Structure 1
Amino acid sequence: MGHERVHLLKKIQEVEFAAVELQLFLDTHPQDQRALMEFNHYSRELMMLKQQFEMQYGPLLNFGFSPSQYPWRWIEGPWPWERQY
């Protein structure tokens, strides 16, 4: 797996982790405006990173969550979770 691809996947994981943590925090602190602003920031960044990844390397999710370019790219490897350094 190329270095750029691995770097982008790690960045997606980092941003997704931050978004999940903020979501859990907001479940118990729904009035925290700063946390909500941070959550929205990470949500937008995550969407952009995933879109960038999918344009360069193919879909990250199946079952209709990630549209595919022609030809069908879901079966192309390596899979997003495969680590080949």
Structure 2
Amino acid sequence: MKQGQSHDQERYSLMEKIQMVDFALVDLTLYLDTHPEDTQAVQQFNQLAVESRDLKTVYEQKYGPLRQYGGSFSGYPWNWADSPWPWQL
């Protein structure tokens, strides 16, 4: 495997982990809307929220901004136009 392919595979793998964790957060959000007293679900939500934040921080350090509306800082020069964009992976 060439160096570039390895780098791309790492990027795709990291994005897949982010998507899996964020999907679980959406699912838990819906569950907690109807079961707000479920302590275990709240704990799991909080653990996944930290994991999501940490994975996104790693992604941004390696590949550039990921979160919009001030959730991510831009490098200089402005690097939001760099591609592929996260949703293109």
CA–CA distance in structure 1, aligned partners of residues 24 and 77 of structure 2: 34
- The higher relative CO (CA closer than 8 Å, separation ≥ 6) is in 1
SS in 1 for 2:55: helix
Write out aligned runs for 1:7-26 (5 A): 7-26=13-32
- Structure 2 residue aligned with 1:30: 36
Q: State the TM-score, normalized to the length of structure 1.
A: 0.90
Q: State the TM-score, normalized to the length of structure 2.
A: 0.86
Identity across matched positions, percent: 48
Count of residues paired in the alignment: 83
CA–CA distance in structure 2, aligned partners of residues 31 and 63 of structure 1: 31
Q: Which runs of 5+ in 2 are unaligned?
A: none
Q: Which moved more, 1:55-64 or 1:30-39?
A: 55-64
Instruction: Output the aligned Cα RMSD.
Output: 1.3
Cα drift, residue 71 of structure 1? 2.4
CA–CA distance in structure 2, aligned partners of residues 76 and 43 of structure 1: 27
Provide runs of 4+ in structure 1 moved above 3 Å.
none
CA–CA distance in structure 2, aligned partners of residues 65 and 54 of structure 1: 11
1:62 paired residue among 52, 68, 82:
68
Cα drift, residue 61 of structure 1? 2.6
- Structure 1 residue aligned with 2:87: 81
